[in-house]
Amino acid sequence: MESPLLFCEEYEWQGYWWIPEDPANLVPGVLKYDGKGKIFLELIGSFSGFNYSNGNLCIPGLENWGIVYGTSGNSEITLFGVSITESNVSFPENSENTLFGFSVTESNVSFSGNPGAVLQMAVVDRAIIGAHILDKDGEIFSGFEVGIEDLNLWARTSTPEFEYEDIENEIGEKKCGISLSAKPVQAAVANDALYKVVHYLSLGKIEYLAGETVGSISEKVSMKVDYSNLINLQKVLEEVGVLQKLISFAVSRFVGIISLRLNISEDVSLVHGGVDIQGHSVNLLYSLSNVGHTDSKGADSRNVLFTCELVSVDKVLPLWYELYGQLQNAANEILSLHYSPKISVKNALLTAVNSAEILHFNLEKQGKISEVEEMAECQSDRESRTEKSGEKDVENQKEGVASAPKVNKGRKQKLLKVRLKELANRIGENIISLVVPDVEYWAEAAAKSRNKISHEGHVLHYDENAQKAIILVTTCVVILNILKELGFSSENQMNIVRGNPGMRRAFYNAQLYLMPPKEEADEKSPEDNQV
What are the pLDDT digits (tens) for 213-224?
Answer: 777 777 789 999
pLDDT(494) > 90:
yes
Same domain, 100 and 74: yes
Predicted confidence at residue 164, as pLDDT, reads: 52
What pLDDT, in 10s, does the model give residues 164-177? 555 666 666 665 55
What pLDDT, in 10s, does the model give residues 98-130? 323 333 333 344 444 445 567 889 999 999 999
Give domain status of residue 5, yes or no: no
The last residue of a domain, from among 271, 298, 326: 326
Average of pLDDT values for 255-267? Answer: 91
The last residue of a domain, from among 326, 349, 383: 326
Angstrom distance (rounded) from CA 437 to CA 440: 9
Give domain status of residue 136, yes or no: no
Predicted confidence at residue 371, as pLDDT, reads: 54
The last residue of a domain, from among 326, 351, 373: 326
Q: Which residues, in sequence order, are CB contacts of 371 under 8 Å at separation 6+? A: none
- Residue 230: which of 203, 270, 273 has the closest Cα? 270
Same domain, 182 and 310: yes
Same domain, 336 and 428: yes
Angstrom distance (rounded) from CA 456 to CA 449: 10
Banded pLDDT at 93 (limits 50, 70, 90): low
| Side chain identity at residue 444, one-letter code | E
Please give the C-alpha separations between residue 41 and each of 75, 81, 135, 283, 394, in angstroms, as whole numbers: 16, 11, 20, 17, 76
Same domain, 440 and 316: no
Angstrom distance (rounded) from CA 72 to CA 2: 18
pLDDT(470) > 60:
yes
Give domain status of residue 1, yes or no: no
Asked whether 111 and 57 are in contact (CB, 8 A), the reply is: yes
Residues of the chain with pLDDT > 70: what percent? Answer: 72
- Residue 360: which of 482, 444, 467, 455 has the closest Cα? 482
DSSP-derived letter for residue 412 is: S
Asked whether 193 and 134 are in contact (CB, 8 A), the reply is: no
DSSP string, 504-516: HHHHHHHHHHSS-
CA torsion sign, 98 to 104 to 110 to 111? negative
Q: Which residues, in sequence order, are CB contacts of 109 under 8 Å at separation 6+? A: 58, 59, 87, 88, 89, 103
DSSP-derived letter for residue 311 is: S
Predicted confidence at residue 324, as pLDDT, reads: 84
Q: Which residues, in sequence order, are CB contacts of 410 under 8 Å at separation 6+? A: 382
The H helix count followed by the E strand count for the chain is 12, 20
What pLDDT, in 10s, does the model give residues 413-435? 589 999 999 999 999 999 999 99
Same domain, 266 and 370: no
Same domain, 378 and 425: yes
CA torsion sign, 359 to 320 to 279 to 265? negative
Q: Name the pairing type of β-strands 193-208 and 102-104.
A: unpaired
Same domain, 355 and 486: yes
- Residue 23: which of 58, 74, 69 has the closest Cα? 69
Same domain, 260 and 356: no
Banded pLDDT at 468 (limits 50, 70, 90): very high
- Residue 470: which of 489, 485, 448 has the closest Cα? 448
What pLDDT, in 10s, does the model give residues 133-146? 988 898 999 999 99
Same domain, 148 and 95: no
Residues of the chain with pLDDT > 90: what percent? Answer: 47
pLDDT(455) > 50:
yes
Give domain status of residue 121, yes or no: yes
Give domain status of residue 79, yes or no: yes
Q: Which residues, in sequence order, are CB contacts of 408 under 8 Å at separation 6+? A: 382, 385, 386, 389, 526
Q: Which residues, in sequence order, are CB contacts of 60 under 8 Å at separation 6+? A: 46, 48, 50, 84, 87, 107, 108
Angstrom distance (rounded) from CA 284 to CA 136: 12
pLDDT(149) > 90:
yes
Give domain status of residue 178, yes or no: yes
Q: For residue 290, which phi and psi values (nearest 5 degrees)?
A: -125, 100
Q: Which of 109-123, 146-160, 333-347, 515-529 has the lowest mean pLDDT?
A: 515-529
Residue 91 or residue 352, greater confidence: 352
- On average, the pLDDT of the chain sits at 79
**What is the CB-side half-sphere exposure of residue 212 using CA atoms within 13 A?**
2
Q: Which residues, in sequence order, are CB contacts of 6 under 8 Å at separation 6+? A: 147, 258, 259, 294
Asked whether 25 and 33 are in contact (CB, 8 A), the reply is: no
Predicted confidence at residue 114, as pLDDT, reads: 45
Give domain status of residue 446, yes or no: yes
Q: Kindly state the greatest CA–CA separation across the chain.
A: 113
Q: Domain tally for the chain?
A: 3
Please list the alpha-helical segments (H only) found in 366-457: 372-398, 416-425, 429-432, 439-456
Q: Name the pairing type of β-strands 117-129 and 75-90.
A: antiparallel
Residue 92 or residue 101, greater confidence: 92
Sheet with 109-112, side-by-side order of all strands: 51-53, 56-59, 109-112, 102-104
- Residue 34: which of 286, 382, 263, 225 has the closest Cα? 286
Predicted confidence at residue 172, as pLDDT, reads: 66
Give domain status of residue 23, yes or no: yes
Angstrom distance (rounded) from CA 276 to CA 140: 13
Residue 332 or residue 427, greater confidence: 427
Same domain, 171 and 320: yes
- Residue 283: which of 123, 175, 128, 97 has the closest Cα? 128
In 3-state terms, what secondary structure has residue 380? helix
Predicted confidence at residue 239, as pLDDT, reads: 94
Predicted confidence at residue 448, as pLDDT, reads: 92
Average of pLDDT values for 348-374? Answer: 83
The parent domain of residue 99 ranges over 11-129
What pLDDT, in 10s, does the model give residues 264-279? 988 765 545 445 555 6
Same domain, 149 and 291: yes
Same domain, 336 and 320: no
Judged by phi (left if over 0) then psi (alpha if -120 to 50, else beta), residue 168 lies in beta
Predicted confidence at residue 399, as pLDDT, reads: 40
Residue 338 or residue 132, greater confidence: 132
Q: Which residues of 330-368 are buried (b: 16+ CB within 10 A; e: fewer)?
A: bbebbbebbbeeeeebbebbbbbbbbbbbbbbbbbeeee
Q: Name the pairing type of β-strands 39-44 and 281-286.
A: unpaired
